[in-house]
Amino acid sequence: MKKISNEHSGEPGIRPSLKDQLREGASANQPIQDQLITDTLEQNYMPYAMSVIVSRAIPEIDGFKPSHRKLLYTMYKMGLLNGNRTKSANVVGQTMKLNPHGDLAIYETMVRMTRGNGSLLHPYVDSKGNFGRQYSRDMQFAASRYTEVRLDKICEELFRGLDKDAVDFADNYDGTMKEPCLLPATFPTILVNSNQGIAVGMASNICSFNLSEVCKATIAFMKDPTVDIIDLMPAPDFPGGGIILYEEETMRQVYETGRGPVRVRSKYQVDRKNNIIEIIEIPYSTTAEAIIDEISELVRSGKIKEVSDIRDETDLDGLKICIECKRGTDPAALMTKLFRFTKLEDTFSCNFNVLINGMPRVLGVRAIIAEWLCWRRACQKRELLFDLKKKRNRLHLLDGLSKILLDIDKAISIIRNTELEADVIPNLIKGFAIDAEQAEYVAEIKLRNINRQYILNRTADRQQLENEIKDIEDILSKPKRLDALIVSTLENVAKRFGKDRRSELLKAENAATFTDDKMIEDYNLKLFLTEHGYIKKLSLTSLRSAGDLKTKEEDHIIIEAEGKNKSEVLFFSSACCVYKMRIHEISDTKPSELGTYLPNILNSEPGERILFMLITDDYSGELLFAFENGKASRIPLIAYETKQNRKKLIHACYEGSPIVSILYLTEPVDLAAFSSLRKAIVFSSALIPVKATRNSQGVQVLVSKKGSRMVTVMRLSEVGFTDPEYYRIRKTPAIGYYLKEETLENRQLTLGEE
C-alpha cells in the first residue's frame, strides 16, 4: 500500500490533525489561543439566543411578536383600516420594507391573523379568499396573488393614540423608515388572542380568553387589586370552541403561575335516524385529519369495533367529522372511549411567557393584567401630554392673534411697508411684542381672513382651550381620573367587539370518563390451581362442555375459585406473602392445556408454595388464619387493598408459626380445629377478635399439650360431626376433646400423630 507523505510532520503516512492545520494556518497572522467553553457560548451563542427570544418568538405586553407588529403597521400606513381590500401580495411586498424575511414567511404570518383562517378569537385581518383553516392540516391557503385583505375594525383599538406619541418608534433594519416598538392597544390583546412561539431554551404558549370577560376582569382589578379574577373570567375561550373540562384547582394554578394544563373536549351531536355521530368542534391544539387518522387506526387494530365508517364532511358551513356507527351502538359510550384514545380530547399546555421591558417572564393572569395596566397608563399619559403640548401651542398662537385684534390696520401697514420679505417677521415681533412663532402664524393668515369676524372667532376658542388644558393637567395629576379614561375605553371595547363564549365549561367530575377496565371483556370464569403450581383459567361456558381437566402426571387440582375476568385474585404463600393480580392478566387456557406456571407469573421464591387463592371485587369479608402453634387471627380483607396497585405484599400475616389453614369468611360461622393428638374443638369464629394489622398473631385457640400442634381448621359444615356440641367451647383457649369414632360421619377424616 502506498504511503501518504506528510510534509508538515515529516513522518510518512500520517496526516496532520485539524487542530495542527489551524495552528499552522493562523501562525502567519496570530497564534490561536485556548478559550473556555463558557466564554465561547457567551460570545457566539448567547447573542443569537437572545435575538430569537427578544426579536422573534416571544410576544411583548402589547400582545404581538415583531413580525405581527410590522405587518399590521404596514397595513395601517397603507390606509387599509378604512379603505377597500388590496391583494395580499401587495401587503407582503410593502411589509418587506420593515421585515427582512421572505415573502412566504410574511404571508404565513398574515394567514394566521385572518378571519378566514380562524386561528384568533378576534381576527385582526378582514380577508377574502382561501386562507385555509386552523383546524385542518391539509387544507392549504391560496397564493398571495389570489387573496385580498384589509384591517379589521378591531384594529382601530390597536392604533388609537399611535399618532399622539403614545409609544416609541425605532429605525427599521436599514434605517430608512420608522416603526413602532409596541402598538398602543387599548385592551389586553395579550390575553384576548392566543400566541405561540418557540425560542432558544424557552417557549411561550398563551391561550385566548373572552374579550368581554377580560375587560370586566381588568376593570375590576383596577378598582380592587385583590379581586378574585377567576370569578369574572373563569377559563380560556378558544376560537374553535369545544368543551373545557373545568377543574378550579388546576385553573387557579394556571392563573397564578402562568403554567398548567387545560383539558378540552370536542363537541358532537348525534343523528339517531342514520346512527351517525357528527363532530362539529375539536380542541384548538389538534386537527381534523389527525383525529380521523387516530380513529381509523383504532378500527384497524380492533380496539374500536363500533365504527363502520368515518369521513370528513367539512364544508363552507364549518367543521364536520361524521362517524358512522354500527347498529346497537351507544353513542355516548363510544365517545367516552374515543375521548380516551384520540385527540378528540386534548390538553392545551399553558406557558404564559411574555417579554416585559425586554426580559422574558412567566406570569400568571393577574400579573399580566397588572403589567398591562402599568404599560397602558404610560401610553395614556403620553397621549395626554401630546394633547397638552398641542393645545398649549394653539393657545400661544391665539394669544398672538388676540394682540393683532387691537390694531389690524397696524399689522397690515407693517407688512405692506416692509421692503424685504425676511424683515416681515422681525417687524411684527417689534410692532406687537410677540415672539417669532406667533408672528409667523399672523403672517401666514390669508388676505381674505384679515377681518374682525375671523379674528374674533379664532380668539373666542381661547377660553375653551384654557379649560381643556386645565382638565388635562388635572387628569395627569390624579391617577383615579387617568384610570377612569382607561375604564371608559375598556367598556367601549367590550360593548363594540365583545362576543359570547365559544368554549363551554363542564366540571371535570361531571364528565363521563373511560377507564382501561372498559376495554376488558368481562365474563364468568373459574381458576384452578394444581399442586405443582400450574394455574388454569377457563370460562364457565367452556367448562360446561369440557370433560376432565388435563394435568401432569402425579399432579392434581388443590384449589379452585369462581369469579369474573375483571376481578382481582390474591395468592397467599407459605412465605407469608400475598401476590395480587388482575384476572384478565392471566392467559385464557383450554381444558386440554396444562395451564400457566404460576411461579413464573408471580416471580415467587424457590420452594415458596401457594396455600390459598381468593377472588374478590370489593375486598369485602374477612380472612381467618390458623397457625401450627394453636393460634388464629381474623383480618379484614380490606387490609390487603392498596392504592398503588402493588403486586406483592410482604409480612401479609403472622410469621411466628407455619400456616395450617386459611378460610374466607363473610359472616360468623362455626369452625372445627384439630390437633395432632386427635383432639378437636368446635367454636364460633366470633370468638376470635378482628385485628386491623395484617401480621397480627391473633389469639390462642388450641392449647398445646405434650408438644402437640394444630393440624387444621375447617368449617363445621365440612367436618360432619354427628354430635358437634360435645366438642364446643365457649371461650378460648381450650385443651380440646379426644375424637370419638362414633361422632364422625366422615370416616375418611384422619389426623396424623406425633
pLDDT digit string (tens) for 28-46?
556 677 888 888 888 888 8
Task: Give yes or no: 146 in active site.
Answer: yes
As a whole number of angstroms, the distance between CA 236 and CA 208 comes to 6
The CB-side HSE value for 580 (13 A sphere, CA atoms) comes to 19
**pLDDT tens digit string along 592-612?**
888 889 999 898 888 899 999
For the chain, give the mean pLDDT: 89
Average pLDDT over residues 201-227: 95
Instruction: Report helix, strand or coil for 189.
Output: helix
Determine the Cα angle at 250 with ends 248 and 254, to 5°. Answer: 110
The residue ranges of every structural domain in the chain are 1-34, 64-183, 368-497, 522-743
Q: Nearest CA to 257 among 364, 157, 120, 384?
A: 364
User: Strand order in 524-530's β-sheet?
Assistant: 557-564, 524-530, 534-539, 596-597
Take residue 495 and report the three cell numbers written for it.
360593548
Choose the most confident range, by mean pLDDT, from 22-36, 316-330, 433-447, 534-548.
316-330
Take residue 692 and report the three cell numbers written for it.
386491623
| Third-level CATH fold of 64-183 | Topoisomerase II; domain 5 (3.90.199)
As a whole number of angstroms, the distance between CA 294 and CA 284 comes to 17
Q: What is the pLDDT of residue 30?
A: 63
As a whole number of angstroms, the distance between CA 503 and CA 501 comes to 6
The least confident of 222-231, 428-437, 566-575, 743-752 is 743-752
Q: What is the pLDDT of residue 745?
A: 59
Residues paired with 416 in a beta bridge = none
Largest CA distance in the chain: 157
Relative orientation angle of helices 365-405 and 452-477, to the nearest 10 degrees:
150
Chain centroid to CA 125: how far? 28
As a whole number of angstroms, the distance between CA 618 and CA 600 comes to 27
Q: Nearest CA to 310 among 286, 332, 328, 334?
A: 334
**pLDDT tens digit string along 677-732?**
989 999 999 999 999 889 899 999 999 888 889 999 999 988 888 888 999 999 98
Q: Nearest CA to 588 among 660, 538, 644, 649?
A: 538
Instruction: Report helix, strand or coil for 359.
Output: strand
As a whole number of angstroms, the distance between CA 473 and CA 481 comes to 11
Q: Nearest CA to 187 among 486, 544, 440?
A: 486
Could you check whether 64-183 and 522-743 share the same CATH topology? Answer: no
* pLDDT at residue 20 is higher than 70: no
How is residue 44 annotated by DSSP? I
Give one DSSP letter per residue of 695-713, joined into a string: T---EE-B---TT--EEEE
Q: What is the pLDDT of residue 22?
A: 46
- Band the pLDDT of 384: cuts 50, 70, 90: very high
Does residue 664 contact residue 636 with C-beta atoms inside 8 Å?
no
Q: Nearest CA to 204 among 192, 194, 214?
A: 194
Which residue of the set 45, 124, 135, 146 is catalytic?
A: 146
The CATH H-level (homologous superfamily) assignment of domain 522-743 is DNA gyrase/topoisomerase IV, subunit A, C-terminal (2.120.10.90)
Q: What is the pLDDT of residue 647?
A: 87
pTM of the predicted model, to two decimals?
0.74
| Third-level CATH fold of 368-497 | Topoisomerase; domain 3 (1.10.268)
* pLDDT at residue 443 is higher than 90: no
As a whole number of angstroms, the distance between CA 548 and CA 594 comes to 12
Take residue 501 and report the three cell numbers written for it.
363564549
